[in-house]
A and B are shown apart, each in its own frame.
Chain A
């Protein structure tokens, strides 16, 4: 995925170790968003600090640094704290959702999710930042 400097579309970072899931999110968001994919927590943080996006779709279960840890790092960093974060997880007990929201997630998206639901959350959070 090439990053176009002049592009004014909302920029999205998709973090998931499952390639089909990343691809699903990217394809669902479609041409209205400028997407980048990473498959682990450390790379995600490096990318975020290098070039902060508008929105992050963050899987909880990641190799190395877990999704919740990445979220906490984002919220602890003043340069990144206003990024919209959607936690996406197959773990969706009340406790899992509470941990995500308390750690600073803007939204929690359970797997499997509806295509429209993902799109509306993305548009709402992107619109809020504009």
Chain B
């Protein structure tokens, strides 16, 4: 789910507040309209009331002027009656037009019109005619009660009309009141909800912004104090989440950087240890042959020996001096290999011949160990650096002699398997346990048993493995502690793939 940004959230809340304020305005507008409606209704009702009262006055005028004329026979009363009668159509039709929209009132107004009409035609005109002929008959009780009955009927209908109009006005104003009440309630509610929303939003902003900022500040203080493992938990608005992500990636890369520095430091320290080991090993390894060289030289200089003994001691000096030279060569090789400066001088040569040569060199008669050599009759031609590969085979032979008891067999075989030439050197020596076998090709590694008993630099096999690898070959060991070890050297037969590259670099070579 995508996190909403603070800007979006503020927008949403503002929209909510605006909607509530809108509801407030609509409610207020509705209340105002309702009040206006009630007001116009009220003024219409008062118009109706006025018109009704006018008709009532009219009916009273008609009745009193008629009665006056009958009692006094004064023509002034007759003129008043005629005058009132002339107003009847206008006033009645005014009232009828006012209540035209209101069916029950319209019915009442119509019946008022009908009753007035009946009063005038069926009663008043007859009474006037009778009075002109017989004043006494017109003044009789029957005529008087009939007139009163008709007028009362008209007034009753008019009262009904008035009462209905009053009731209507009252209902309209009550409705306007209740609408106003609802509008006020809605308005107050909207204000309360808006205020609550604004307050809540403020609190939320404080929570969503201030709290993560405080957390980041605290974490930054931890980082400043050196704790680079600090990580913040995600959450909150998009901006806060982005800040948290940036912070975490910052501490992550700081930690990684520190880890790399520590690792480099450790590597440097490891290198330093190696160098110390090398110096210590060099001084130790040089001392034994040096002791022989210096000792025999001093003896030869100080004492007289028979010629054959002199010769023997000189031979020892020669051998030990060569050993010193070989050691110096090993150390140089290690330096070259470590610096990647080893250059191979490539030639095609017979591997069988090389192995035979080295075997003769290491198993000079009389030899401490018995050599069993198993090589094919035909040559196995490979391309490589002959001197370097001689060094490798020589190293394997000298190890076999060094790490197996005197008089034991050392079995050396050469054969071709597929596209590879295989040289195997097997001894019946102290062997190497599984754990150590994994490390024998590492610089300065010496199996615990070997280190305690047999002199060595811990460099020979490391150098040998590097040389073989640079020939695209492999050097492996199989060993059983107490039974013996077999080192297997495998080199590609014929022209090497690397030579193709060399030809491209050196076009003069065909």
Contact = CB atoms under 8 A, between A and B. Distances in A.
Nearest to A40: B453
A61 B298 CA distance: 25
B347 to A, nearest CB: 35
B296 interface: yes
A61 B288 CA distance: 11
Contacts of A92: 287
B345 interface: no
Interface stretch (A20-28, A50-58, A100-108, A120-128): A20-28
Given A20-B316, A27-B313, A28-B295, A112 B290 contact: yes
Nearest to B303: A30
Interface in B287-326: 287-296, 298-299, 302-303, 313, 316, 319-320
A32 interface: no
B295 A24 contact: yes
Interface residues of B, number: 25
B455 interface: yes
A55 to B, nearest CB: 18
B299 A115 contact: yes
A92 B291 CA distance: 13
Contacts of A91: 284
B320 A20 contact: yes
Nearest to A27: B299
Interface centre among B289, B292, B295, B298 (most CB of A within 10 A): B295
B500 interface: no
Contacts of B86: none
B320 A66 contact: no
B313 A17 contact: no
Contacts of A111: 287-288, 290-291
B291 A66 contact: no
A113 B288 contact: no
Contact of B298 (A23, A63, A115): A115
A20 B284 contact: no
A46 interface: no
Interface string B441-459: 0000000000011110000
Given A20-B316, A24-B292, A114 B298 contact: yes
State the majority secondary structure of interface residues on B: helix
B453 A63 contact: yes
B316 A64 contact: no
A66 B452 CA distance: 7
Nearest to B312: A23
Interface in B256-311: 283-285, 287-296, 298-299, 302-303
Contact of A24 (B284, B291, B319, B454): B291
Interface string A10-49: 0000000110110110011010000000000000000000
Contacts of B291: 21, 24, 90, 111-113
Nearest to A92: B287
Nearest to A113: B291
A24 B283 CA distance: 20
Contacts of B287: 90, 92, 110-112
Chain A interface: which size bin? 20 to 34
Given A20-B320, A21-B288, A63 B296 contact: no
Contacts of B289: 20
A21 B294 CA distance: 11
B279 to A, nearest CB: 12
A17 B299 CA distance: 21
A80 interface: no
A63 B313 contact: no
Nearest to A25: B295
B454 A21 contact: no
Interface centre among A23, A62, A115 (most CB of B within 10 A): A115
B399 to A, nearest CB: 14
Nearest to B296: A24
Contacts of A66: 452-453
Interface string A61-80: 11110100000000000000
Contacts of A61: 452-455
Given A27-B313, A112-B287, A21 B453 contact: no
Contact of B453 (A30, A62, A112, A114): A62
A27 B284 CA distance: 23
A58 to B, nearest CB: 14
A41 to B, nearest CB: 9
Interface of A: 17-18, 20-21, 23-24, 27-28, 30, 61-64, 66, 90-92, 110-115
6 contacts: A17-B455, A24-B292, A24-B299, A27-B299, A90-B288, A111-B291
Interface of B: 283-285, 287-296, 298-299, 302-303, 313, 316, 319-320, 452-455
| List of 8 A-B pairs having minimum Cβ-Cβ separation, nearest first | A112-B291, A90-B287, A63-B453, A111-B291, A20-B292, A24-B295, A111-B287, A115-B298
